[in-house]
Structure formats: structure tokens, C-alpha cells
Amino acid sequence: MLEQAASIAAFVGQGLVLAGAIVTIIGSVGVLRFPDFYTRIHAASVTDTLGAGLIIVGLVLLGGGFFVTVKLLIIWGLILITGPTASHALANAAFTSHVKPLGRGDLRQPSASDEG
Amino acid sequence: MEWTAPLLADPSLLFGAALLVMLAAILCAIVVSRKLLTSVALTGLFTLVAALWYIAMDAPDVAFTEAVVGGGVSTLILLGSILLTRESAEPVSPSRMVFPAIAVILAGVAILYAVGSIPGFGDPASPANASVGRDYLERTYKEVGIPNVVSAVLASYRGFDTLGETTVVFAAAVGVMLLLGFGERALGDPARRHEALNPDLVEEIDHHVVLRVATKIMIPLMFLFGLYVLFHGEVGAGGGFQAGVILAIALIVHALVFGLSETMRAFPAAAMRAGASAGVLIYAGVGVINMLNGGAFLDYDFLFPPPLEQALSGPDGHAGQHYGIIAIEIGVTATVASGITAIFYGFAGRAPDIASRGASRGPESGGGS
Amino acid sequence: MIDALATGYVYAIIVAMMMASLFVLLTTGNLIRKMIGLSLFQTTAGLFYIALSKVGGGTAPIIIDAESAVGQARAARLDPAYVEHFGVDGVVYGNPLPHVLILTAIVVGVATLSVGLAIAVRVREAYGDTELDAVRRADAAASEPEPPGPRGRPNA
């Protein structure tokens, strides 16, 4: 029974790590493909909250002793604080330096607002 | 007996190869870019990826240092100096690239030729890995009694070398202070300070609520982590250098979010000068105490007089080594933390000049110190 | 063959990166960019040292017990004769000495980098620019008509 639970946990853990990796790749593609600063930063913040979170929870399930688990959870908590704060700071800095989000119809000429 | 390294059984090989390719790609982007801001951001990225590669090469202490120093402090100082100078480099004419290109290619070919005759990557029988490195690994636990061999070599076997390096950090901090001042301009007279922090201070203050709250949570944790790294350096990755940089980064984050003058009120530049000197003094002082007790300079077995050493050690021994290493690590931490903070004060203290100069668009008033 | 390929590429890439950062350092006339090149050159030198310290199948040079779960998992991946021959008390470690050298070099590197940047900032304040061409022009202009003052300034 206990062994079964352990193997299920390992299986779920591997799945979560894989999911985290996929989310990270999706976020990276988003950073490359999205048209303006604000949408790109949205993609980047998906990477560091959801991607990192999934990977860390997966690693916790894969197991490694009590202290490793505690350390991983602390790291997760810190990422949950710092990641959104960093994204907010970047977006805030862009907003205060008058970077305009793309409006309707801007996508036709992406080069016009590419800089910034 | 001939051995080939079992690299293909080593999972870090593939990881390391991928990271090396990433490093090369980032470096190409740095070579091409003309905007200094882009170059600096990519340099920070380069050092972070290099830190990951160090992990793949089983060097967690180096990775830790590279991450906090390269990703944190040096990027920040480079950004500060861009703010204080100019934002893009002049394009270089192709004719000027000819001689450097020839020189670089010749040097590269020469080094590659030499590399052909050094032992292969990962070779456990290479002279470097098989003789002195192995010697440290075999002797450390018996002679020093701490598990982290890197810390033991750093602080005990090569303690004299590390004393020199701590002194270099101290000297560099003094040099920056002499060149750029102590950051006291940021304190200045109140009117000017207001002008410096401004122009639309009243509007901006509300934008930073999230940052202020988050950093209020983070800064105590950063201090705590710095101390953990300092005292945990004997057992795991970490030590005085990393701890010092982390403590300095905590202060720098405070200065970035709450303003330099607030930080300098809590941690005045004079305290940083005293801390940087005190660190070197602690380090050298530990060495002198050993000499007074009859040992060699920095021979921690003589940190305590022999009877006390035996009483403190118990059956395992090495009390002098433990206390000595902790003491000099504290010295290193004090010097590195204060030194880097003082360097940051020096750069940041120049910012008000730039801000007021940028506002008036005048090219002058430079060099007035 | 595959082992030669697996080992040779690391040094080749690192030397190429070293030379690329040296190229940045040599070509640019901008002082800040020169310092960036210098700092990158230093990082790549560190990469080279650490590459030398890698021991195949090794672990970080933090002494662990070969009988513990971690130690046994480490040893299980390797040939027992290899562990016997190159391991220390049953565990194969990386070489700690290059780690020590590079660890301190990194911290010293940032300290010296900041001195260089501080000089660049002072050059900017004295000459109004950090491009070496502009600094040379200012020096030439200052020295031609009259004896040079305490500070050469482009607009003087």
C-alpha cells in the first residue's frame, strides 16, 4: 500500500515536472512571439510562477527527504513573492515611462511600437 | 591502468553541453549588440547560465558565487555606470576590427593547439585531478574536520591566499570611494535631495506600493539567508564571500526601493568603511593570534593555547580549525558586505548629479568634486 | 571517437567564447563596453578552470558518507573498479582546488570591475564622454593651443 502510494507520487511528480517544463517552453515562445511589452511580460511571468511552481511541486513529490522538501517549499514561497513583484515592477516602469500597450488595429504594423 | 572517464554515464554531460551552447549564443548576441543596456542585460544572463553550468560541473560553491556576484552585483554596477555615462557605444568601423580579429584568431588557434595536449575533459587521472586535488579530498576531513572541502581549502589550507583576496576587495572599495566619494551627495542639503529624488515624487510614490511591501518581506529574509550561508559554509555550499555579497544585496535592494538616503541613515558610509577595514583586521588578527600561541600565521590548530584546544575539541579534535574558519569567514563577510555596499554608495551617490544634469540638458557641471 | 568528441568540444567552445569576449574588449572604443568585455573574459577563464576540475561521474566536493543512500546511489551509476581507483572512501568527487581559485577570483573580479567602472565614470565627468576617440580628441584639442590645464574639456 505504502509502496503503491510512493510510486503514484513519483509518477505524479514526473508528470508535474514535465508539465512545468512545457509551461516554461510555452512562456518562452510567448516572450518571443507576443507583439508588445505588456503581453510579453505576461508570458514571462507565466514562466516564473506557474512553470517554476509546477516543477517545484513535482520535485517535492519525487521526494528527497524532509529538509529537501522544506527547502523546496521555501523556494516556492519566495518565487511566489518575488516573481509577480518583479513583473509588476517592470510593467510599472514601462507604464511610468509612457510605453503604450498595443491598441486595436496596431497589429498590422508591429514594427511601429516594437521599440520600447 | 588506462581509464576513460565514464562521461556518457554522467547525466550532467548533456545538460552541460546544452548550457555551453546557450552561453555561446548569448556571447554572440553580446558581440553584435551596440546598445550598452542590452549588453549588460545579456552579460547578467551569461553569468547566470554560467552558474548553472558550474552546477553541472559539480561546483556548487562557484555557481553560488557566480549567481550572486555576476547576476546581482556586477550587473547592477554596470547598469549604474551606464546611467552615469552613456547608453550606447559608438559603432566600430570594420577597418578597426581587422587587427583585433587577426590577433584574437591567432591567440585562439594557439590556445586550441595547446589544449590538444592537456588531459581530456572529465579525466579523473589528469595531473590536476589526481594529485593535489585528490590530496585535499583525502586529507581535509582528517585534518580540518569539515565536510565542505572547498571551504576548508579556501579558509584553512589556502588561508593566506584568501587573506590577500579579501584585501583586494578592501582595496577596491577604497579605490571606488576615492574616485566617486562616499555617496554623501545623496544626503546633501534637503532641497537638493528633494530635487534629486524627484521630479514627480508625489505621483510616483503610489506606484511603488507593491515593491515596498514585497521588499519589506524580503529584506529580513535576505539578511537571514546571508547569515545562514555564512555559518552553513562548512557543511554545504556557501561561505564568507557569498554571505557578504548577499548581505550587500539586501542593503542595495533597500536603497533601490526606499531611496539611498534612507539606507545611508541606517547604514552610514562611515560604518561601511569601518566594516571593510574591520573584516581584514579580524582575518589578519586570527593569524596573529595563532602566531602568539606558537603556531604559524593562520594555522588554526594554534588558535587556542594547546590545553584549551584539547579541552574544547573532545575526541574529534579540530576545535581550533572550526572556530578559526568561522572567525575568518566572518572577517571575509564583513569586508565583502561593507566593501560592496560602499562601492554601491559611491556609484549611487553620483546619481543626483546626473539627474539634475539630465533635467537641465546641460552638458556641463561635470567633474565638480 | 565518441569520447574524443564528448571531451574536445567543451574546451573548443570555451576557447572560442574567450576569444569572442577578448574581441569585444579590443575593438570597442567605449570604456563601459571594454569593461563588459573584460568581465566576460574573466568569466570564460573561470569556465575553463572549472572544466578542468570536472571528474567524470563525480559529485560536488562536499564529503558524504559512501554508505548513505545518496552515496550508494552515486556509486551505483559507476563501475566499482573506477570508484575504487579514483574515489575517496568510496565516493568520486570533483577537484576542489579550481573551485577555490575561481570562487575568490569572481569576487575579486567584481571588485576590480567596479574600480574600472568608477574610473570610466570619472572620465565621463572630466571629458563629457566615455568613447576613447572623444577623449583623445579632447586631449589633442586641449594640448594644441595652450598648455594643458588640470583637466582637458571638450567644450573649453
Domains of chain B, by residue range, sit at 13-88, 148-361
Judged against a pLDDT cut of 60, whether residue B368 lies above it is answered with no
Q: Higher confidence at residue B270 or residue B207? A: B270
- Measure the CA–CA gap between A5 and B49, rounded to whole angstroms: 37
CB B14 within 8 A of CB B33: no
The pLDDT-based confidence of B342 (bands split at 50, 70, 90) is very high
The yes-or-no verdict on residue A92 having pLDDT over 80 is: yes
Q: What is the pLDDT of residue B359?
A: 44
Contacts of C38 in chain B (CB under 8 A): none
For residue B205, pLDDT beyond 60:
no
- Give the tens place of pLDDT for each residue, B147-166: 889 988 998 898 899 999 99
Percent of chain A at pLDDT > 90 equals 25
What band does B367 get if pLDDT is binned at 50, 70 and 90? Answer: very low
pLDDT of A19 above 50: yes
- Average pLDDT of chain A? 84
Residue B244 has pLDDT above 90, yes or no: yes
Nearest to B179 among C36, C119, C151 (CB): C119
Query: pLDDT confidence of B1, banded at 50, 70, 90?
Result: very low
Residue A100 has a pLDDT of 81
Closest by CA to C11, choosing from B113, A83, B205, is B113
B199 upstream amide cis, omega within 30 of 0 = yes
Interface of B with C in 12-31 (CB under 8 A): 13, 16-17, 20-21, 23-24, 27-28, 30-31
CA distance B334 to chain C (A): 14
Q: Cα(B158)–Cα(B146) distance, rounded to whole angstroms?
A: 15
* Distances B316 to A74, B306, B322 between C-alpha atoms, Å: 34, 15, 11
Q: Is it the case that residue A105 has pLDDT exceeding 70?
A: no
- Of the two residues B93 and B241, the one the predictor is more confident about is B241
More confident residue, A108 or B19: B19
DSSP B95-162: HHHHHHHHHHHHHHHHHHHHHTTSPPTT-TTSHIIIIIHHHHHHHHHHHT--SBHHHHIIIIITHHHH
Percentage above 70 pLDDT, chain B: 85
Q: Pick the range with the lowest mean pLDDT from B43-52, B169-178, B288-297.
A: B288-297
Q: What is the mean pLDDT of residues B87-114?
A: 87
Cβ pair A47, A27 in contact under 8 A: yes
Closest CA to B266 of B230, B231, B223: B223
* CA neighbor of B248 nearest in space, from B281, B286, B275: B275
pLDDT at B229 over 80: yes
DSSP state of C93: B
Give the mean model confidence (pLDDT) for residues B313-323. 78
Rounded-to-integer distance, Cα B352 and Cα B83, Å: 11
Q: Which of A59-73, A83-97, C103-117, C121-135 has the highest mean pLDDT?
A: C103-117
CA distance B235 to chain A (A): 14
pLDDT of residue B288: 92
Q: Write out chain C's pLDDT in tens, 156 residues.
A: 455 555 678 888 999 999 999 999 999 888 999 999 999 999 999 999 999 888 887 888 888 888 887 778 777 777 788 888 888 888 888 899 999 999 989 988 999 899 999 999 999 888 888 888 888 888 888 887 655 555 545 544
- The per-residue pLDDT for C20 is 93
Question: Please, which contacts does B186-193 make with residues 24 or more away whose CB atoms are closer than 8 Å?
Answer: B186/B260, B186/B261, B186/B264, B186/B345, B186/B348, B186/B349, B186/B351, B186/B352, B187/B261, B187/B264, B188/B352, B192/B352, B192/B356, B193/B261, B193/B352
Residues in chain A whose beta carbon is closer than 8 A to a beta carbon of chain B?
78, 81-82, 85, 88-89, 92, 95-96
CA distance A7 to chain B (A): 22
**C59 phi and psi, to 5 degrees?**
-130, 175
Average pLDDT value for residue range B232-243: 87
- Cα separations (Å) of C21 from B5, B18, B20, B104, B107? 30, 20, 15, 10, 13
Question: In this predicted model, which residue has the larger pLDDT, B296 or B369?
Answer: B296
B246-256: pLDDT as tens digits: 999 999 999 88
Q: Are B336 and B242 in contact, with CB atoms under 8 Å apart?
A: no
Model confidence at B285: pLDDT above 80: yes
Angle at the Cα of B322 (from B319 to B325), degrees rounded to 5?
140
Residue B278 has pLDDT above 80, yes or no: yes
Cβ-based contacts of B229 with chain A (< 8 Å): none
Q: Show the CA angle centred on residue C35, arms to residues B41 and C104, nearest 5°.
A: 90
| pLDDT reported for residue B363 | 38
Candidates B44, B79, B72; CA nearest to B241 is: B72
Burial class from Cβ neighbours inside 10 Å (0-12, 13-18, 19+) for residue C145 reads exposed
pLDDT value for B188 = 59
Q: What is the distance between the alpha carbons of residues A63 and A43, in angstroms, rounded to a whole number?
A: 30
Chain A residues touching residue B208 (CB < 8 angstroms): 92
- Residues of chain B by 3-state class (helix, strand, coil), percent to 5: 75, 0, 20
pLDDT confidence of B4, banded at 50, 70, 90? low
* Chain-chain contact of C115 with B172 (C-beta, under 8 angstroms): yes
pLDDT at C4: 57
Contacts of B135 by beta carbon, 8 Å cutoff, 6+ apart: none
CA distance B359 to B306: 67
Distance spanning both ends of chain C, measured CA to CA: 67
More confident residue, B203 or B318: B318
Residue B223: what pLDDT? 94
